[in-house]
Structure 1
Amino acid sequence: MILKAHLGLLLWALLVGLSFPAVGLISADLPPMLLTALRFAIAALALWGLARRAPDRWPHGAAWLLYGAMGLCLAGFFAAMFWAAHHATALSMATLFVSVPLLAFLFGLAAGLERRGWRLPLLLAMGAAGALLLAVVEAEGRASVSQGIVFGRGEAVFLLGCMASALYPVLSKWGLARGWLSSSAAVRTFWSLALGGTLIGALGLVVEPVAALSKMRLRDALVVVYLGLFSSAVTFWLQQRATAVLTPAAVTAYGYLVPFVSMLLLFLQAPGRLGWEWLPGSVLVLAAMGLLWRDDALSRLAARNS
């Protein structure tokens, strides 16, 4: 089960990395929040086929509040990302996003889900440094680099979104530990996506022009369906499945591999971009992930032998 969780998160990183080029194929004049709500709706419908088979598919009591909080985390992150994209530089957002595993560790520590110590925060910092180096190299020559890393209103809003993203696996793990959430990863993913999509859709109806959806072309619709099925349904299901056996910090640490996947895709599309400047970030990311896997394996081996 542990090995499946790690392999699943590797697939998660690959799917998330592949989603960025797909998002770029969508027409820029379409409302992003409403598109995300549509994407979440497609994902939830796809997952319902699995979720409805679970005996505990319907939440009870406090579970509704917890699923609502998890959905609010998803809606909060995407809403913050869309708003901040017009008020913050790409490099500043990339810098803040690599803080998510560290934030998840701190939230998990406060909730009693992480073990105290210096080694895990150090490895997470190593992975964050590597991912940031890859983001800087990828953005080299853009206006975002020349503007530098700043912290203003846009960055503050996106930091709140990153905190919401970090809190999502913590709430999932916390609810599982108390028996409030379904034991089925499909059920947990379904309700968080359904409620999150409802929240971000409601916000989109208020701040975005609904009529703009009429401009959607067939290609746009196909990309949204792809993102809903693979970049939402499958990725969040893989994350929820891993959350049942790994800590929030370990789950979110796989986000460091996303810029590494993006780098590999860039090399396939433009081999001329390959250079030594990509090496330091790649080495740091791969070293951090390798050490995290090693520490996880050793700790579980020690637990079995004790």
Structure 2
Amino acid sequence: MSQSVSARSAHLGMLLWASLVGLSFPAVGLMNELPPLSLTALRFFIACAGLWWLARRSPDFLPAPGLLPLYALMGLCLAGFFGAMFWAAHHATALSMATLHVSVPLLAFLLGLGLGVERSGWRLPSILALGALGALGLAVAEGSQQGGGPAFGRGEAVFFLGCIATACYPVLSRWGLASGRLPESAAVRTFWSLGAGGVLIGLAGLAVEPVGRLAAMTGLDLALLVYLGLCSSALTFWLMQRATAALTPGAVTAYGYLVPFVSMLLLFVQSPDRIGWVWLPGSLAVLLAMGLLMRGGGRAGG
């Protein structure tokens, strides 16, 4: 299988991914309280609408019937993560969830080893461990200012299952590419996996949420939803699928360590008085890990 995406281009794309994901949180904060699962389903469908014009140009746009179970499984990974996140948000602290989320790249690495899409060795796991320590340091720094600490209960257990689900998404994508099952077009892979995920999340929303509350959506809510659908879903998942052609699942998910760093920078812009030395160790560890990763860590095999 030819890889049209270079490792350098994939790394740069994932830097953009981390920036877009980090910037999406303030946008979500501006929206009114609406049914979260139904809102996510709409966001995914908007993303699919934005990707359709690009994906349909590929000769592999329409999947073979044998591919539908794989796309459904990838969609289930997305639905599992977002469903667990929204449920756990009412049963776990933000610090606990942020702490658990640093496990995703290491989980992706271990799952990738099991499916043969990660190389055994010490370099990438060491980089991932360094990034995890840095991201954990940033989470603890924020928690120390907000009060409270990480715990582990039913909400944390459910969210950890969601972390496993989201770690499986790039692993399945890389396995599908390496085995020749998935098409080379990142747009096609993103379109069908987001579509499947949107259907599953939407069905869950219909079952457990007061969907009628969506009628309270304002013009600002709709504009933000379109922005999130196109930029924070379509573009970010396309960047992830694009990077999957050149990087291993562990390396792709490692860029999640940069998301709290981006959020920290936004926090400093909004509240400069919160800048302190407590943020420095985590920031340096994350930046060092990302630098080592971009210097050759996590390249996928041929």
- Per the normalisation by structure 1, the TM-score is 0.94
Query: Number of residues paired by the alignment?
Result: 297
| Equivalent in the alignment of 1:46 | 50
Shift of 1:276: 1.2
What does 1:1-306 align with in structure 2 at a 5 Å threshold? 1-28=6-33, 30-142=34-146, 145-146=147-148, 148-296=149-297
Using the TM superposition, give the Cα deviation of residue 62 of structure 1 relative to its aligned residue in structure 2, in angstroms: 2.4
Query: Contact between 1:62 and 1:180, CA under 8 Å: does it hold in 2?
Result: no
Deviations 1:86-118 (A, max 9, x none): 001111101110000000000000011111122
Higher mean displacement: 188-197 or 283-292: 283-292
Question: Conserved in 1, the CA contact under 8 Å of 2:124 and 2:297?
Answer: no
How far did residue 273 of structure 1 move? Answer: 1.3
How much has 1:291 moved relative to structure 2? Answer: 1.4
In structure 2, runs of 5+ residues without a counterpart are: 1-5
Residue 293 of structure 2 aligns to a residue whose secondary structure is: helix
Q: Give yes or no for contact 2:123–2:297 (8 Å, CA) kept in 1.
A: no
> Runs in 1 of length 4+ with deviation above 4 angstroms?
none
Q: Secondary structure at the match of 1:41?
A: helix
How big is the shift at 1:294? 2.0
| Alpha-carbon offset, residue 141 of structure 1 | 3.4
RMSD: 1.5
**Is the 2:8–2:294 Cα contact (8 Å) retained in structure 1?**
no
Structure 1 residue ranges without an equivalent (≥5): none
Counterpart of 2:39, as a letter, is L
C-alpha separation between the residues in 2 aligned to 1:38 and 1:193?
11
- Counterpart of 2:3? none
Helix, strand or coil at the partner of 1:39: helix
Q: In 1, distance between residues paired with 2:248 and 2:38?
A: 32
Higher alpha-carbon deviation: 267-276 or 89-98: 267-276
Amino acid of the structure 2 residue aligned with 1:111: L
Cα distance in 1, alignment partners of residues 30 and 131 from structure 2:
29
SS of 1:283's equivalent?
helix
Once the two structures are superposed, residues 250-269 of structure 1 have per-residue CA deviations (whole angstroms, 9 ceiling, x without a partner) of: 00000000011111111111
Percent identical among aligned pairs is 68
Secondary structure, in 3 states, of the residue corresponding to 1:296?
Answer: coil
Q: Do the aligned residues in 1 keep the contact of 2:98 with 2:139 (CA within 8 Å)? A: yes
Which residue identity lines up with residue 53 of structure 2 in the other structure? G
